[in-house]
Structure 1
Amino acid sequence: MSLEAGWQAASLLARDFADQWPADEPGGAIIGFDANGIRFAHAGGVESLATLAPFTADSVVRYASVTKHAFASMVLHHCNIISLDDRLGAHLPELQKPVADVTVGRALDMSGGLPDVRECLTLLGLSVYTETEASRLLEFLATVTRLNFDAGTEVSYSNSGYRLVEAALERKGFTFDEFIQREIAGPLDIFLKAPDVWNDPVPGLVPGYWKARERWQLSAAGLHISASGSLAGSGRALARWAQALVSGEAKFSGLLQKLSGTRPLANGRPSGYGLGLRWSSLGARKFVGHGGSHPGYKSYFLLDPVEKTGCVVVSNREDTNGYKIALSAMAALTGEQLPRTGCTIPDGLYVADEGALWLEMRNGIANCLDAEDTLYDDGEGWFSSRSASSPMRLRWTGEALEGEIGHAPRRLLPVTPQPAGTELDGSWETPLYGAHLEIQGGCVVMGIGPTRHAMPLQDIGGGRYLFILHDGPWTKRICLSRLADDRLELVLSRSRMIEYVRKA
């Protein structure tokens, strides 16, 4: 297939995806480009349910975690001020061990084991809508004395490393938005903005939406965003920046190679996640990119560093699968086949012998500690997530699920959940943070007044239990793990260290 035929195929496929966004619903844009410019731009849906103005390639959205590689660019730009090998504690002396000993590089490449602030707040009972300030969140992180795992031993997604490194640079007088304007937006003549909080005005920003009981709702969030996901701009602006990056234009020469360079774990194993970028493969080709997700916004971009081509997806609706769209477009462009799913691992719930690790299989999708990934056929009974940010490779032996999760060896056994008894009944608290929950009749009870709600516990054995918490656009499945008679922890994929003790 000729290159021109590939572009025609990719454009047609992107158009089909864009047409699936109805003209009276939130939508998005899909843009394909090469070193010479944009090859196609298709959009569907609307940018506002109030005005019904059509979504276009110029509609401004929140990029969310697509921000990360841009911030990592800032870190590399100031390598004389802050080094990837520096300890976080060298720049933020209030941090305690072991957080203080995590290096800047591991904080950015998802191998640091740093608990994610947003999920910590969820486990303390704070809603996605609860407003928080940067300084208070830094004070919170300064109290943390447990990592999710030993730094360098696993890869698991967390935003906290970017928050901490941003705070370190700000103390030295360097702010992220100033860097964006001076080093990226200005030279490329595009609009980009990195607000501090959700309610900061951003020129042209379109609303984000999520669906509740068949009705679209406006999105909102209270968390101070940080450079882990603060950048906003249009699909066209993101495509222009990605084009400059993959082409190595002028001052950006070699930057993509530095951002996507191999980052090894402590044992020397390459992880596939660089500095705000993750590698993925399609047949014989390797692409690099990243996705982003904020309440009501989804984004993704993929780059082919060899052919200097790429695809950008931006959307103002919660249900968009940007990775699927971008990968499908790149498959159409290159003529490569999309990976096969066909996962034969039996549906059901699986748990490790010890600790809070659980995984549920359903229709080829693995939900591990409440983080979902599709598993693809790797041959000989093995199935892989093919994700550098949540790596997983597993097989069913007939009696156990074996393989790796986060590059760490794992073995999980099937279990049938049972209703919890009354063994945990009582009042529980986190003395340091003032959080409180009750367990009554096998239910976790959190909240006060009209926000008070009871969540049934499912016993999955070994002192582990699961319960479901609903919070606006999010549904969280939390593991409660009993550490001792009067001590327990609440665990999500990105936060595995929030402990409660039983009140006397």
Structure 2
Amino acid sequence: PALARGIDAVFVDLDRPGSPGASVAVIRDGDIVYSRGYGEAQIEHGIPVTPHTVFHVASVSKQFAAMAVTLLAADGALSLDDPVRMHLPYVPEFEPAPTVRQMIHHTSGIRDQWQLLAMSGWRLDDVITTEQILGLMARQQELNFEPGAEYLYSNMGYTLLGEVVEAVSGMSLAEFTQARVFAPLGMDRTHFHDDHEHVVPNRAYSYAPLQPPADAAAPADAEAPRYRKAVLSYANAGATSLFTTAEDLARWLDNFRHANVGGPEVMQTMLSRGVLNNGDTIPYAHGLAMGEYRGLRTIGHGGADAGFRTQVQWFPEVETGVVVLTNVANGNPAGRARDVADVVLAGSFPEEEGEEGQEGGAPPAADDAAPPETPGPAALAEYAGTWYSPELDALYHLSVSEGRLVARHVRHGEIVLEYRAPDEFATDRWFFRGVRFERGGDGAVGDMRVGGGRVRNLRFVRLTTPLPG
């Protein structure tokens, strides 16, 4: 009862009619010691979340794509140090060539699929198929960096891992993981799918909070909807698209204890961290982030797609796993998982409460620097024109409007480019964060490079012949 009261208190804000919800499961020494649902899986129909509600778990999926590849390596069907192109010939020839292992650790330099798609005009609630993603991959001419030089998260790498599984095993990622991982572990409500029209029994849909009305003084209508649907139409698997329950994921976490699936050697490989070319070790293993909480080691991952927010954490020293799955964009599963761990592992932490996360030092200095003066219209006109990316097959039209440089895209509309430094601009769009123009030896504007986040220096060329119309 004390355990139940403590865990239930973590989810009290979601435990009401008309609210999206959460599912929690805790496994300790091989036994699920607590599992419960809170709130609603489908607000429209008042369907409650239960421990058996199926959630899309977003990037928590990655460890299963990594597990599939790790099992194939243990079978001798591939080497983790194989160049990706050995198994997927449509991957362009890069020198040096990214390897399977580097994709697992996000050190391949391969650009991220979601940002490439957004830059080329997609919305993330569009139907996005594996074929479309692979088509983008095949067009890539450059990497973000030399393979092995850095860590930079790439969903594209994990989509490609799913394709490697199929190329090597002859089974889809869904079929392979079902046969080799989910069925042996009794994960009966777990599967991958890459069909956005697939019917999933007992599933949760995802939501996001509605913004409060601009007139804050107006009385809140108790009957007014407080959430909107967050649409998910992904038709691709590997980086995402695992559908599962909190209890099934708890059974998976327990495999780090008993290694019944894969055996000790495979599970140890799953925990091997990436190593950069300079010898530095990164805190990311096989689809798993390695960390620490209050003096205990943690192995886990989070996920965020549409309104789904998910977190799994395994505490190996105390053989305890915590799973929190939510279907609302502000669900904060990582914070809730820590709060659940505080309840479940009370008395087991080497460090006292409050030691974790303390930061000292002076507050950051205020940035009092004046913004740089924007060049005049004549100077901005140097950048005007129609710019084309061969890697995206996408066009942006740049023009000067009301003294500002503006990029226009058929789907994204107008994007204002704010001047930052000579030939450098910034925008408020996550996928188009930084814009830099390169100049030739004659001083004339040459290529445009766009990036920020998980795509760097994507090249656009100015078309010399204006498009008709």
Structure 1 position 235 matched with structure 2 position 230: no
Structure 1 position 321 matched with structure 2 position 283: no
Residue 434 of structure 1: which of 385, 393, 410 is its match? 393
Highest Rg: 1 or 2? 2
> What is the one-letter code of the residue matched to 1:479?
G
User: Counterpart of 1:135?
Assistant: 131
> What is the one-letter code of the residue matched to 1:261?
S
Structure 1 position 219 matched with structure 2 position 230: yes
Cα distance per residue 1:33-91 (max 9 Å; x no partner): 21231222243221111111222221111011111111111111111222111011111
Per the TM alignment, residue 480 of structure 1 is displaced from its structure 2 partner at its CA by 1.5
The SS at the match of 1:47 is strand
Residue 102 of structure 1: which of 95, 98, 105 is its match? 98
User: Counterpart of 2:259?
Assistant: 248
Per the TM alignment, residue 22 of structure 1 is displaced from its structure 2 partner at its CA by 5.0
Structure 1 position 35 matched with structure 2 position 53: no
Distance 1:197 1:247 in 2: 33
Distance 2:322 2:422 in 1: 46
Residues 100 and 160 (structure 1), Cα distance of their counterparts in 2 relative to 1, 3 Å cut: farther
Aligned residues: 427
Residues 420 and 14 (structure 1), Cα distance of their counterparts in 2 relative to 1, 3 Å cut: farther
> What is the one-letter code of the residue matched to 1:198?
H
Cα distance per residue 1:133-170 (max 9 Å; x no partner): 32342232122121111111111111111112222332
Residue 158 of structure 1: which of 151, 154, 159 is its match? 154
Q: Which has the higher strand share?
A: 1
Distance 2:423 2:407 in 1: 18
Kindly indicate whether the alpha-carbon contact (under 8 Å) linking 1:490 and 1:496 is maintained by their aligned counterparts in 2: yes
The SS at the match of 1:438 is strand
Distance 2:390 2:58 in 1: 33
User: Counterpart of 1:183?
Assistant: 180
User: Counterpart of 2:437?
Assistant: 482
Residues 330 and 199 (structure 1), Cα distance of their counterparts in 2 relative to 1, 3 Å cut: same
> What is the one-letter code of the residue matched to 1:481?
R
> What is the one-letter code of the residue matched to 2:8?
R
User: Counterpart of 2:116?
Assistant: 120
The SS at the match of 1:82 is coil
Per the TM alignment, residue 313 of structure 1 is displaced from its structure 2 partner at its CA by 0.7
Distance 1:415 1:200 in 2: 53
Residues 84 and 106 (structure 1), Cα distance of their counterparts in 2 relative to 1, 3 Å cut: same
Kindly indicate whether the alpha-carbon contact (under 8 Å) linking 2:388 and 2:395 is maintained by their aligned counterparts in 1: yes
> What is the one-letter code of the residue matched to 1:428?
W
| Match runs of 1:371-390 below 5 Å | none
> What is the one-letter code of the residue matched to 2:357?
P
User: Counterpart of 1:410?
Assistant: none
User: Counterpart of 2:413?
Assistant: 453
Kindly indicate whether the alpha-carbon contact (under 8 Å) linking 1:123 and 1:491 is maintained by their aligned counterparts in 2: no
Kindly indicate whether the alpha-carbon contact (under 8 Å) linking 1:31 and 1:42 is maintained by their aligned counterparts in 2: yes
Unaligned runs of 5+ in 1: 1-6, 350-398, 400-413, 470-474
Residues 77 and 222 (structure 1), Cα distance of their counterparts in 2 relative to 1, 3 Å cut: same
Cα distance per residue 1:105-133 (max 9 Å; x no partner): 00111111110111101112221133343
> What is the one-letter code of the residue matched to 1:270?
T
Residues 433 and 495 (structure 1), Cα distance of their counterparts in 2 relative to 1, 3 Å cut: closer
Per the TM alignment, residue 185 of structure 1 is displaced from its structure 2 partner at its CA by 2.3
Per the TM alignment, residue 171 of structure 1 is displaced from its structure 2 partner at its CA by 2.5
The SS at the match of 1:148 is coil
Distance 1:95 1:201 in 2: 32
User: Counterpart of 2:276?
Assistant: 265
Kindly indicate whether the alpha-carbon contact (under 8 Å) linking 1:111 and 1:156 is maintained by their aligned counterparts in 2: yes
Distance 1:274 1:32 in 2: 23
Cα distance per residue 1:191-225 (max 9 Å; x no partner): 11101133322222221112343452222244432
The SS at the match of 1:19 is coil
> What is the one-letter code of the residue matched to 2:435?
L
> What is the one-letter code of the residue matched to 1:240?
R
The SS at the match of 1:153 is coil
Distance 1:235 1:225 in 2: 22
Higher relative contact order (CA 8 A, sep 6+): 2
User: Counterpart of 1:26?
Assistant: 20
Per the TM alignment, residue 457 of structure 1 is displaced from its structure 2 partner at its CA by 2.2
Structure 1 position 174 matched with structure 2 position 171: yes
Kindly indicate whether the alpha-carbon contact (under 8 Å) linking 1:31 and 1:40 is maintained by their aligned counterparts in 2: yes
User: Counterpart of 2:7?
Assistant: 14
User: Counterpart of 1:69?
Assistant: 63
> In terms of mean alpha carbon deviation, does 47-56 or 319-328 score higher?
319-328
> What is the one-letter code of the residue matched to 1:305?
P
| Match runs of 1:195-214 below 5 Å | 195-214=193-212
Unaligned runs of 5+ in 2: 213-225, 440-444, 465-469
Per the TM alignment, residue 8 of structure 1 is displaced from its structure 2 partner at its CA by 5.0
Kindly indicate whether the alpha-carbon contact (under 8 Å) linking 1:30 and 1:313 is maintained by their aligned counterparts in 2: yes
Distance 1:99 1:125 in 2: 29
Per the TM alignment, residue 31 of structure 1 is displaced from its structure 2 partner at its CA by 2.1
Kindly indicate whether the alpha-carbon contact (under 8 Å) linking 1:443 and 1:454 is maintained by their aligned counterparts in 2: no
Runs of 4+ in structure 1 deviating by more than 6 angstroms, as ranges, are: none
Percentage of matched positions with identical amino acids:
22
Residue 339 of structure 1: which of 357, 368, 387 is its match? 357
User: Counterpart of 1:57?
Assistant: 51
The SS at the match of 2:152 is coil
Q: CA RMSD in A?
A: 2.6
The SS at the match of 1:191 is coil
> In terms of mean alpha carbon deviation, does 42-51 or 245-254 score higher?
245-254
Per the TM alignment, residue 263 of structure 1 is displaced from its structure 2 partner at its CA by 2.2
Kindly indicate whether the alpha-carbon contact (under 8 Å) linking 1:427 and 1:503 is maintained by their aligned counterparts in 2: yes
> In terms of mean alpha carbon deviation, does 80-89 or 438-447 score higher?
438-447
Cα distance per residue 1:325-350 (max 9 Å; x no partner): 2233334423443312467452667x
Distance 2:263 2:199 in 1: 29
